[in-house]
Each structure stands twice: as C-alpha cells, then as structure tokens.
Structure 1
Amino acid sequence: MNSEEDARNGVDASPGDNHEKVDPAVSDENITIGTIDDVMRRGNPGNRAPRQTAACRTAELAEAAGRYHRLGLNVVTVGGSKRPNVPSWEQYQRTRQSGETIGGLPYETAYGLAVVCGLVSGGVCCLDYDKIEGDRAAFLSCQLEALGLPPVYPWAVETPSGGHIWIRLLGDLNALDGCGKLTGQVQGCHHVELRFDGHYAIVPPSRRQDGGSYRFLSVDGIPSVRPAEVAFDQVLTAAEWNEPRFTERRAPSKGALALASKTVTSEYVEAAIQGELDEVRSAVEGHRNDTVFKAAAAIGSMLHLGIDEGEVVGRLLVAGQTSGLPHEEIVSAVRSGLKKGAENPRGLVLSEPEAAQVEVSRPPYPLHVLPPAVRDFVVEAAACVGCPPDMVAVPLLAYAGVTIGRTRSIQIKPRYIKHPAFWFAVVGAPGSGKSPADGLARSFVEALQAKAHADWHTAHQEWRIEHELWKQRIKGKGSGKASTGGKPFHVDPEPEEPGLEHYYTTDSTIEALAPMLSRSAGVAIAHDEIVGWVKGMGAYNGASARDRAEFLSLWAERSLKSDRRGRAPILIENPVAVIIGGVQPDVLSDLAGEAGKRDGFIDRFLWSWPEQRPAPWTEKTVSPSTAAAVEAIFNRLRATSGDVAPVTLSGDARSFWRDWYNENGAVVEAEHGLMAGIHAKGDVQLARLALVLHVLAHDDPNASAVSVDTMFGAAELVEYHFAHARAVVQRLGVAVNTAHTGRGSTLRQRVIARLQKHGGWMSATDIAKGLGGHIPAAVRDQELARMEAEGHVRRRVRPSGDLGGRPAVQWALTGSADEFDNTGKVVA
C-alpha cells in the first residue's frame, strides 16, 4: 500500500517507509529483558529499542496503554505495519473505551500503541513532522515555540523518522473543511500533518519492525498530565497548510464523534459528560484539582447544546468530593473550568429534532407553599381563565408584596433587612390567558386603589374649600405692612394639598414614580408587555441610562432622591417599587441586547414561563367566598401605621437559611454569565418571598417568628424561578446569535446582519466598513473568534498571491458558505 493510501486511512506512515518482513533477529522470541524506562531512555544509539522477552513486552504495552487511558485517551494496539491489529478499530473513534476494553487489547501480537485523535480523546491532536533535517530536538523546540509551548514539553516525541507534538485543540475546526487531517509545509522537514478525528498516531513505547523506537524528549515514561491546550488559530499560523483534498474528506459521523463543526446527538453529550465525571472520580492526589478544572472546562464548552448547567455543577461537585478534594477547591475549579469552557465552546450543533426537545425543564408552580385561602383563589382563578396557575400566583404575590410595601420587613440579621421589592415577569404566548389572569390577581389592589382614590377625592374637596378660605383670609389682611413698626402681618400656614395613596401605576418613569413613592408604602409598575417598559425606559426625557441606574437602585431598596426644578426635593428611604409584567416568547429575543449589558438588570427578575396548552371554553368563575377571603387578607396588608419591628426567623428557619445560603453560594461560584447573576441575588429573593408568605398567613405577623416551613416554601419558590430563568436565559442565548440592526442591537447581531446582507465570504476589514468603520479591530476580531468558536461563523485562509504577502482571512455564516464559490459570489 502506498503512503497516500496510508495517510487516507490514518496510518502513521511517511513516504519511503518500507514494510519488509520481520527480521528473525528482532522477533519476540529473541528479545532480551528490559524495562519501560529502558525502552524510552534518551541517548539510545540509533534510537533502537532494547531487547526484552515477549512476556515483558506484553506487560509493558498493557501498562502504558492503561496510563494513556487514565489520561482520557483512547488507545489501540498496532502491528508491524503500524496498522491497528484490533477488529473494527473505528468504533473507538466514536466511543470512549472502558478499562475492560483496554485490558483486552491484543498486546501479545502488537509492536506498539497508537492514540486515537479527536474529540473522543478530549480534543487531542497530533502534529506529525516527517523527515526532520538535522537535530530533531532543536527542530521540535522551534515548533514548540511557534505553538506557544515551553521548550521543555512532556508531549514532544522523537520518532524514527521525525517527531510528534501532541496538543489539545481549542476553538472551532471549520478550516478542516470536513476533514480530520491537514497537511502542510514547515521549513526543516519534508512535510507536517495535523491529525484529528478519524486518525491516530503512534506513541511510546512503540517500535517499528526495523527496531526504531518512539520516545518522549523530556520525560522518562508516560507523561502524568494531559497534552496542553492550544488555540486552533495558533496552529494555523505555525505552518503553511494546504487546502484539504477531496479524498481526505470524511463522511459525517453517525455516532458521538462528529467533527467539531458537525451535529451530535444527546447521547454523545451525556457520554462526554459521563466520561469527564469518570476522570474526576478516578483522579489521583496531586492531579485532582487540575482534573476537576479540565473536566468542567470540557463540559462548559458544550453548554450551548442545552445542558442543564445547574445539574452538571451538582454532578461535578459530587464527583470531586468522591475524589477526596476539599470542597472549596472543587467549587473554585468547577467555576473557573465552566467559565473557560463557555468562553471557548466547541463547534458542535445538536441535531435539529433533538434540539427542539432539549429545552430546560420548567417545573410546575409549587401551589402547596401558599396559604390555603390564597391557594384556593389561584386554583379557581386559573380554572376560570383556562391558564396555568402560575399566571395567577406570580402576579398575586407581586401585588401582595406591593400592598405590604414598607409597612413590613424581614430581618435575617442586624442590618440585613428586606422589604418585598420584587420584579416579576411572566412569559406567555398571545391567547395563553396571561392578561386575564393578571387582571384577576390585580383586582384586589384595584379595589384598594379605588378606595384610596375615593378617600383622596373627599379629602381634596375639603382641601379646596379650606384653601379658598385661606386665600380670602390672606387677601383680607393685605400684603403690605401696617402700623406694626414695619413688621409683616401674621399669616396662617397654607393648607397642604392631600396626596393620593398609590398602589399601582402604568407610568413608570422615575420622574413620575418619585412623588408616588413619597406618598405610598409601595407602588406596583404593571405592564402587559414588559419588553416595552425595558426598551422605552427614559424615553420621556432621553435619560435612559439614568432611569436604568435608578431602577437598579430601587430593586436594592436604596434611598431615592429626586430633585426636579419647580418641585420640592423628594427623599424616600427603603422605597418599594414592584415590577410585574408579561412577555411573549417570540419577543424575548428583544431583550438579548439588554442581557448583553451584564449590569444585573435582567438578573433581578423572577421569571415564570409555565407550560401552556389551549383551553376549551368554560363557565367556571371564582366563588364569592374564595374572592372575599383573599380580599380580607389584602385589606389588612397595608392597615399598619407607624414603625413596626421587622419579623425575625425562628431557630430552625435560621439554620435552614444558613444551609441554603451556603449551598447557593457554591452554585454562584460555579455558574457563569446571567445564571451566576440570577443565583447571586437568590438570598434577597428568598428573604422577600419568605416575608410575603409569612404576612399572608398571619393576621398579626409579629406575633410569631418566620417558621422553617415558611422558609422552606420560600426556597421552593426561588428554585422554581431559578429553573424558569434558565429557560429564559437559554432563549436569550439563541437570540444573541440572530441578525439585528439599529438601536439596541449588539455587535454580534450587526455582524450577522452584515454577513447575511453580503451573502458570501467577507474579509474582517469589509465587515468593519459595513459596521461604520468605528469598531476597534481588536474588539471586532475577538467577537468573530467567539462566533467561530460557537459555530455561528466559519473562516477560511486564502493563500498569498503571486506577489506574496500575508494569507487573507475571510468569514462567512455557518451553513451558508457552501453556497458560494471561492470568490464569494453566489453559485448559479
């Protein structure tokens, strides 16, 4: 078989390799005893393997294979022709081997070992330099420098005719163009090959038929750590790579081992996670922290496939504890690893049928945590509307919170006091019953608002009469000075105009809200579509940034001070402004730009996205007795006047709080992005929900401490909202990668829109011109690299022209580039 066929089939052969018959002088029967270290000893004359018995050789290969496997690599045995001597070795391109499989390899008939490259071995890649001229060690040292690796690198191998450098690739592999291998040229050797999916390469302590051996340059024995990670961009600049040949292209994989730019199955994702967890559990002392970090990074690089991040965090924590690593170190390693992996996602795409199925689980609303009267109303109101109970319960708690307002608070410890300043958002499609459900929940505060308005109207009428009489008194006394020695007349103080006590509003600018809050214990900002409120914030006076900052402070219950010309200054301590509104699933994407600001705004919401199904017409209504019971509860919620001491926690509730706080803190450390921010605010949400549940359930909330049952119920509500928030975050993550232009669009959305409009390959410079020419090159290139790593765009490197110069890098949207020819024009 010629060398081209060898290369096509993944054989570690170079042109000129001969495959002569085995020389009896070096057959297994005539080999003398040696050790693993002997085999790989540096300075061995002629780089030939010492002789050893067949039994020792078999044990040596088995031990080495086990070491490679423990480093996360798939291994096959090879015969004298450097071909695998195992049947159907292709299965190991798709499936992670078990320890039993490794133990059952045919070492007795093997000349050596080969590591299977690609994703199945954790993204391992072999750079094979053939026929090195001169000093091999010096040549490999230069290549290590070009790759950004240290000169003393454990995974540099001297081979009988050249050298190998083993690395783990980071980033998308679109430049492979459907291949698992690239070939190229490097000065100082005949050629270089990059081997990845579908290929393998020989590793120490292998030997050839002629006795030539493979050895690591800087270590004796097998390295104790996995190969270093190197960005694919770095590899592309380390050699002059040829365009992949058609004969080298591989058919799409049907198993887990799809190329980095191909689709994968959910089985692959779970197998990959399980493989990383196995590595963590079996990690040995001295390598446990590094193993946890790398496992978390590997899993983090697949989060975009719909993995439940909270679930894998828990699985990693348990696996780390099994290895004996201290809890604090596990949390730190998991957090750092997931963050790094998420920043360098693999270019994997879930097959479309499965992508539709892989949605974050959204649990039902925990109705049992509500007081009986409230729970009965929620159930009856939901049946009346034909909607999920979530759509009634969520706004009902919001309106209960605003009715309580500043009149009640909960103290977790001194100076940790919270009021019910919630932000709620309910996701529901048109016709889901979202608005009617909110209307039923709001009916109680509307009744209180109507009564407050009637009282204000009566008081205002009395004020108008009194104010008119005051003006007449002033007029009668005159405005000048009489015979009083130059002193002015005594003037009665002007009667103060009564203010309306507010419960809710739909005018939500800070300018309008400040006077309302000054006269009210709490105000709800209610919107049918909350996206309009978010995007229209500050539209009245153009001060959107200031309004946004003020609302962030309002959620944190920081004092609000408003100074408007022509109006007395307003100062409100512990303001309670509750936000409640709806969002249609199809317009969630409009919040992608808001989420991208990462200022904690979206993080503050308690999200609810209940499962929705069409409901038939029903004659059901809420019974008068059920509505009256809840109305009575609302009537007493703001009945308190004066300073009231905060409610406190019982001993058991305090213990529960401490445990929940610490567990949630561990999740915060391990999370990243929006979910990290949402979890970081979990303790505040827990305190506020516990306060509302306690006040709803007790006529005199201060007569008893908050019980552990109430605290447990509040924790169930927080976990419910965490789960629904994850579904929203997943949808926002998809929205970030869609085309959008104009105000509020992100750089990524504008890049995608530019590429879609052009319809072909574009240089980075042309992309920048289309964006207005004001985006810094470093920012542009960083965003393009992220998009490539996530599989949204692909790049190609065009060779230099006849006059030389640097190769041109061009970009196109993934999935559309194949429709264009090499000039970027549409193929007719």
Structure 2
Amino acid sequence: MTRPPAYDLAAEQAVIGAALLNPAVVGDLAATLAPVDFHRPAHGLLWETLCAMHAAGAPVDPIAVAARLAETGDLAKVGGAPYLHTLIAAVPTTANAGHYARIVVDHARRRQVADLGAYFADKANQGADVADILATGRAMLDQAATATSWSPIIPLGDRRHLPDFPAYVLPDWVAEQVYAVAEFTQTPVDLAGCIGLAALSTAAGGRAEVEVRGSWREPVNLFTVVVLPPGSRKSAVFAAMTGPLLVAEKALVEKTRPAIVEAELAARVAGKTAEKAAIAAANADASGRDTLLAEATAAAMNADAVTVPTLPQLVADDVTSEEAASLLAEQGGRLAVLSPEGGIFATIAGRYSGTPNLEVFLKGHAGDMLRVNRRSRAPEHVEHPALTLGLAVQPDVLREIADMPGFRGKGLLARILFALPENTVGRRKIGADPVPEQIAAAYTANLGAMVATLADWTDPAVLCLTPDANERVLDIERAVEPRLAPGGAWGHIVDWGSKYTGAVVRLAGLIHLAQHLRDGWGKPVTADTVEQAAILGEYYAAHALAAFDDMGTDKTTRNARHILAWIERTGSTTFTKREVFRALKSAQLPTAGDFDGPLATLEAHGYLRQLEAPERPRTGGRPPSPGYLVHPDVHRLPAPVHALPASSRSA
C-alpha cells in the first residue's frame, strides 16, 4: 500500500512563525533544522532566508523578510507578505519552538527512511546485484540514523534550471502553433519558439527596421541557435515551423514568373535591336555613321537597362559565405539560413576554403553595406543586407564554435540568441495529439500574409516607437549598463551584453509586425510590445550566460552537468557509481574511471554525498560499487511552466 509522506504542516508553520516573532530562535535551531527538512518547499525557502538574514546580522521580522524575498523574486513563491502574518498567527507560543522543530526533523527522517525503503524495493525489482543492495543499504541506513543537515548547494553555473521559453508573449497565432508543435513532437517549447522567431525574422527581415533614437535603427532580423542532443526531433519541429515559409516562397515565385517571362522577352528584343543598330553603324559610310552610332549606343544602353527578376528565394540551408553573399545580392538583401544542423559553422570557419569568412554574417546581421564581387559581372552591393540564422545544434558543436577562429573576437557569437532547453528524451509522452488543423492553417496563412505584405518593399519600412516605448528602452539600457562593468554580472560576456538592448528592440519589431500583419509599418511600436520583447530578452540573457559558460568550462565540469542531468531526469535520490556508468557510458565517458572526476566535482559542490564504503563480501567477488545520496534540493526546484490558456497568452 502507498502511504502519504510523513509531515506536519502545523509544526512547520509554527516553527517559522516563532522565528518571525522571536529572531533568537533562528540561531538556536539553525544547527539542527535545515531547509530540506521542511516538506513544503515554500517553508524550506523561508527557513533558508531566515537563516541567511540572521547570519548576516540583518533584522528578522515580517517586513524585513518580505523585503528580502521581494528583492530575490521569491516573495510570490512563499505566498506573499500576507502568508508571513498567517505563520505568525499559527504560533501558540514561541517558547515551544524547539519542540516544533523536533517534530519537523523527525518527520524529515521518516521520509528519508521511507525513500530508502522505496529504493530497496525498486532495486530488487530491477534485478540489481543483491550484495550491492545489502551493502549499500546498510551504509544508507547508518547515514539516515545519524543524518546531519546538508550544506547549501554551490551551483556549477547557470546551465541548470534555465527559464522556459515564454511563448505566451508572442501573438496568439504564433504562440498557439509553438505550444501545439511542442506538444505533438514532445520537444521543449524553446525549440519551436526560437525557430518560430526565426520564421518571423525570415518573413520581415530586410523589409523593416525599428528607429530608436536619432540615427540608431535596428533591423528586425535575428540569429537564433538552439542547443539539443541527437534524437531530439529537431527536424520535425523545423518542418512544422518553417514549412509555411516555403509555401509563401512558392507563392512569390508564381507571382514573379510572368514578370520574368516578360523581362526575358524584352531583353531579347532589346538585344536584337542593339545588335542590328551596331551592324548598321558599322556598315554606314562616314557621312551617316555618327548618327547611327548614337542610335546603336542608345539601343545598347536600353538593352543593358532591362533587368530580369530573379526567382524569389526566402530560405537556404547549408551555404558557404560566398553563396550566401551571392544570394543576398540576387534577393535584394534578404535571406534566411535555417537548418536543424550546425554544419554551417564549420563551413564559414573555412571547412572548404581553409580561410574563415565571417564578413557576410557580420554585415548581414548589422545591416551594413555589403559588396559582392562576381566573376561574370561587375561588382554589386547590397545596401541593407538582412540575413536570418535559425539553427539547432548539438552540444558538442556549441563547445567547438568558441574555438573557431574569429567567432568570438570578431563578434559573431555576440550576435547569437542562444537557447539551451532541457532535453525531453526519455520522458516524452507517447501518442501526443497532433497540431490542430485550425492552428496550423492560421499559422500558415498569417506567416504568408506577413511575407506578402513586406515582399514589395525595396527600402526598409521604418517603425517608430511611442514615447512610452522609448522610455521603456531607456529603462533597459539603464539596467544593462552596470552589468557590463568589470566584475558585473555580464562583465565576462560584455560583447554579447552590449548588443542586448538592440536585440530586445529587434524582438519588439518582430512582435509588432506579427501583431499587425498588413499595416504594421504604419503604426508605432508600443511600450507593451517592448515589455513583451523584454521578457524574451530576459530569457535569452539567462541562456546566453549558460551558453558562454558551457563554451568556457572544462571537460570535468561538463561531464558533471551531464551526470546531474541524468539524476534530475531519473529522479534518483540514491545511486551507485556502477548504475550511473551503465546509464551514461559513451565516447564522452568511456570508462568507469572517467566518472571519478565529475562525481567528485558534484560532491564538492554539495549535490552529492558519498556513502561510507561498504565492506567487501567475505565470499569474494567484485567489491560493492560506491554509493551516493543526492541533495534533496536537486529535486525541489520549481517545475517548468508549460502551456498557458489562450487568455493568459494574449494578456
């Protein structure tokens, strides 16, 4: 039979309430009562805050505690300021605080023993080695009987528990497609969301820019890169989110074909006329040659002036820098490179030429004039190039690109909006509902309308900001600047952080155009739209810190994160080295010895606690595998927020 976990909510409330009424209680109980001993996560968070404030000599009262929680963004997680007063009201007397604490600790130990029992049953049902189960179990029981408080976890970095993609800030027709595709493919919302933004960038890139102040203008094209391991169904998501662009591209081609036929015919006629005029001038006598020569010259100029339109192309896949430059020139400065693979990074790093060529991508993001030299024609230039990049790469590619020549130094990485979502492989729902037909149809129609509305613009449409929107952008600049200072939160990614406000403005421009599909160019961008973009900006800032951290970390730390991800994915509270080796053995971690360093790193950071080594069986055989306990906080962090109701997304 399954029994509910042991806990006493009234005792938990009483001990915290007593601490709020009598701060001396915190010092008396901090050594024996740990945040992990509370069953309710909000109570554990409150106790952790009280202990930290008491240790720092800060006053511990409801007002001060509420202010501290508001600063850290945790006030809502504990129920708000009114809940603090509820806790105080729940205290019969502060003199019994020690008694309440013993009740909380006793229940925590009972839950730990219950967890150990579940562990034994699970391992036995799995057919694990009996000697391992018994030896490890004795050590775990001994540890449970003399359990001491866990120390706070020292984070490995910002890679863990990153925010989910806030698709709810996008226009409904985009958000609904993102959530539906993520549900059907059982992939992180981040993947469909980032590729959806790349699709909007493809539709609008090169045809609009946001005027911030003075000469500061931001084109609305983006570089997005999602990092996911193999087998994550990236191709299926790409097909769903970018397929409508190919439909729109086909419509543009059909619309352009008659003009191409007409121009080609006009070019042939003008060419023949120029040829006849040249022959006539060549055969004329001296008296009439000047007039015929002038007519031949005019005919030749007329023939040269006939321009044959190029078949529209919105999307390319794995192209070289030279091919991308040529396509940009042919397509009037607009092109998107969209791919569920990251091979293009190696291509532009010089896979074929041996020499890195980043200029097209740097200028294509910034909108700086690009000159294209062709073998058969005179040099051409693109006044306002707008290149969109939408990729999904494997984690190994992310680590490789940091070492590619010029990628960091010349600023390519600073232009990328990174997303490092949690991998869902192994936890996917089988038989998920397909994307509703009406949602897919609306996404296809609206994306096509966005392409068609802006396709005929030669000069970019200029989107202005309302005064309130401009003030909101100034607020973002004020918040970002201190983070870029030496020692600031973004001091080590100042190249990326310096482009942060511009990225938010670009996101605001795309959201604005997607909200006003057919007349967005005639309306100003509002403060609400900038606020929606700022929420996306915060998401990308957190993921950028993780991406640059991942690119710079050593192999041991990366492998430690790999093991930690397995712990979180499986929900393990205890495990042996042999179990994690069997689960994660790979080219990255080929031998059992390769796990020693990462496990030691996790133990040093407080994520794990190694159990006392079991005795070697007297009957001989292999020694029992070392066992580990997992810090309870690893599994106590808030669950990710997924789909929201349509009313919430449109709010």
Q: TM-score range by the shorter chain?
A: 0.5 to 0.7
Deviation at 1:715, TM superposition (A): 0.5
| Alignment-mate amino acid for residue 547 of structure 2 | V
CA deviation string 1:194-244 (max 9, x = no partner): xxxxxxxxxxxxxxxxxxxxxxxxxxxxxxxxxxxxxxxxxxxxxxxxxxx
| Separation in 2, partners of 1:472, 1:504 | 36
Other structure's SS at 2:224 match: strand
2:265 & 2:349 partners in 1: Cα distance? 38
The CA deviation string for residues 460-483 of structure 1, in whole angstroms up to 9 with x for no partner, is 444444444444445555632314
The within-5 A match list for 1:155-166 is none
Q: Which has the higher helix share?
A: 2
Q: What RMSD in Å do the two structures reach over aligned CA positions?
A: 3.9
How far off its partner does 1:446 sit? 0.9
Aligned to 2:337: 525
Note the 1:573-584 alignment, pairs <5 A: 573-584=383-394
1:580 is displaced (CA, Å) by: 1.0
Q: How far apart, in 2, do the equivalents of 1:576 and 1:358 lie?
A: 32
How many residue pairs get aligned? The number is 408
> How many Å apart are 1:355 and its aligned residue?
7.2
For 1:622, the equivalent position in structure 2 comes to 435
1:587 aligns with 2:397: yes
Q: Distance in 1 between matches of 2:549 and 2:160?
A: 8
Q: Which residue of 2 is the match for residue 696 of structure 1?
A: 514
Greater CA radius of gyration, 1 or 2? 1
Residue equivalent to 1:485: 288
CA separation in 1, counterparts of 2:402 and 2:209? 34
Whether the aligned pair in 2 keeps the contact of 1:402 and 1:420 (CA below 8 Å) is no
Q: Structure 1 499/540 Cα, relative in aligned 2: closer, same or farther at 3 Å?
A: farther
**CA separation of 1:566/1:543 partners in 2, compared to 1, >3 Å: closer, same or farther?**
farther
Cα pair distance change 1:643/1:656, threshold 3 Å: same
Matched, 1:647 2:463: yes
The match for 2:499 among 678, 681, 687 is: 681
Deviation by residue 1:659-696 (Cα, 9 ceiling, x = unmatched): 11111111111145653322221111011000001111
Gaps of 5+ in 2: 1-23, 25-47, 60-70, 74-150, 559-651
Q: 1:442 deviation in Å?
A: 0.7
8 Å CA contact 1:607, 1:724 repeated in 2: yes
Q: Which residue of structure 2 aligns with residue 608 of structure 1?
A: 419
Report the residue type matching 1:681 in the other structure: K
For 1:74-102, what per-residue CA distance to the aligned partner results, in whole angstroms no more than 9, with x for missing partners?
xxxxxxxxxxxxxxxxxxxxxxxxxx9xx
Give the direction of change, closer, same or farther, for the CA distance of 1:505–1:610 in structure 2 (3 Å limit). Answer: same
Distance 1:356 1:278, change over 3 A: closer
What residue identity is the alignment partner of 1:523? L
Residue 418 of structure 1 aligns to a residue whose secondary structure is: strand
> How does the TM-score come out when normalised to structure 2?
0.56
Report 1:124-203 matches (<5 A). Answer: none
Is 2:325–2:360's contact at 8 Å kept on the other side of the alignment?
no
Pair 736,611 (structure 1): closer, same or farther in 2 beyond 3 Å: closer
Secondary structure class of the residue paired with 1:555: helix
SS at match of 2:336: strand
Work out whether 1:429 is the aligned partner of 2:239.
Answer: no
Gap change, CA 1:678 and 1:474, over 3 Å in 2: closer
Q: 2:480 aligned to 661, 664, 667, which one?
A: 664
1:551 aligns with 2:361: yes
Q: Which residue number corresponds to residue 572 of structure 1?
A: 382
Shift of the 433–414 alpha-carbon distance from structure 1 to 2, 3 Å rule, reads same
Offset at residue 711 of structure 1 (A): 0.9
Q: Deviations over 1:555-588 (max 9, x none)?
A: 2221111233432222212211011111112433
Cα deviations by residue, 1:111-151 (Å, 9 ceiling, x for unpaired): xxxxxxxxxxxxxxxxxxxxxxxxxxxxxxxxxxxxxxxxx
Q: Give the conservation status (yes or no) of the 8 Å contact 1:668–1:680.
A: yes
Per the alignment, residue 16 of structure 1 pairs with none
Q: Which amino acid aligns with 1:625?
A: Q
Structure 1, residues 728-766: CA drift from partner, whole Å, max 9, x if none? Answer: 222212257899xxxxxxxxxxxxxxxxxxxxxxxxxxx
Contact 1:593/1:736 (CA < 8 Å) preserved in 2? no
Determine whether 1:367 maps to 2:167.
Answer: yes
Question: Alpha carbons of 1:358 and 1:450: their partners in 2 closer, same or farther (altered >3 Å)?
Answer: closer
In the other structure, the counterpart of 2:530 is: 711
TM-superposed deviation, 1:357:
9.7
Q: Distance in 1 between matches of 2:374 and 2:278?
A: 32
Q: Is residue 384 of structure 1 aligned with residue 202 of structure 2? A: no
SS at match of 1:497: coil
* Match runs of 1:49-60 below 5 Å: none
Partner residue in 2 for 1:539: 350
- Alpha carbons 2:259, 2:309 under 8 Å: kept: yes
Partner of 1:599: 410
Relative distance call for 1:529 and 1:713 in structure 2 (3 A) is same
Give the residue type in structure 2 aligned to 1:520: G
CA distance 1:415–1:357, change in 2 (3 Å):
closer
Which of 530, 533, 551 aligns to 1:732? It is 551
Change (3 A) 1:468 1:552: closer
Matches within 5 A, 1:204-219: none
For structure 1, which runs of at least 5 residues remain unmatched after alignment? 1-99, 101-269, 283-309, 313-350, 740-828
SS in 2 for 1:426: strand
Displacement, 1:356?
7.5
Further displaced range: 727-736 or 595-604: 595-604
Kindly state the Cα deviation for residue 544 of structure 1 after the two structures are TM-superposed: 3.2
1: CA distance between counterparts of 2:328 and 2:375?
18
Q: 1:566 to 1:628 in 2, by over 3 A?
A: same
Q: How does 1:4-19 map to 2 (within 5 A)?
A: none
Query: What secondary structure, in the 3-state scheme, does the structure 1 residue paired with 2:205 have?
Result: helix
Match for residue 111 of structure 1?
none
Task: Assess if the C-alpha contact under 8 Å between 1:503 and 1:522 holds in 2.
Answer: yes
Matched ranges for 1:56-67 at <5 A? none
How far apart are the structure 2 equivalents of 1:570 and 1:384?
45
Aligned equivalent of 1:416, options 203, 213, 216:
216
CA positional deviation for 1:358 = 7.7
Spell out the pairing of 1:239-318 with structure 2 (5 A cutoff): none
1:568 and 1:385, CA in 2 relative to 1: closer, same or farther beyond 3 A? same
| SS of aligned partner of 1:593 | coil
Aligned counterpart, 2:372: 562
Alpha-carbon spacing, 1:700–1:729, altered in 2? closer, same or farther (3 Å):
same
Task: Tell me how far apart the structure 1 counterparts of residues 190 and 374 of structure 2 sit (CA, whole Å).
Answer: 40
For 2:423, give the aligned amino acid.
Q
1:448 to 248, 265, 278: 248
**Contact 1:506 1:525 (C-alpha < 8 Å) held by counterparts:** yes
CA 1:376–1:360: 2 relative to 1, 3 Å: same
**What percentage of aligned pairs have identical amino acids?**
23
The 1:674/1:618 distance shift into structure 2, 3 A limit, reads farther
Work out the CA distance in 2 between the residues paired with 1:403 and 1:366: 21
Q: Alignment partner of 1:403: what SS?
A: helix
Which secondary structure does the structure 1 equivalent of 2:308 belong to? coil
How far apart are 1:603 and its partner, in Å? Answer: 2.0
Cα-to-partner distance string for 1:504-540 (whole Å, 9 max, x where unaligned) = 112533322233223335211122222x212221637
Letter matched to residue 588 of structure 1: L
Higher relative contact order (CA 8 A, sep 6+): 2
Mapped partners of 1:634, 1:406: distance in 2: 16
**Corresponding residue number in structure 1 for 2:447:** 634
| Cα pair 2:228 2:393 within 8 Å, conserved | yes
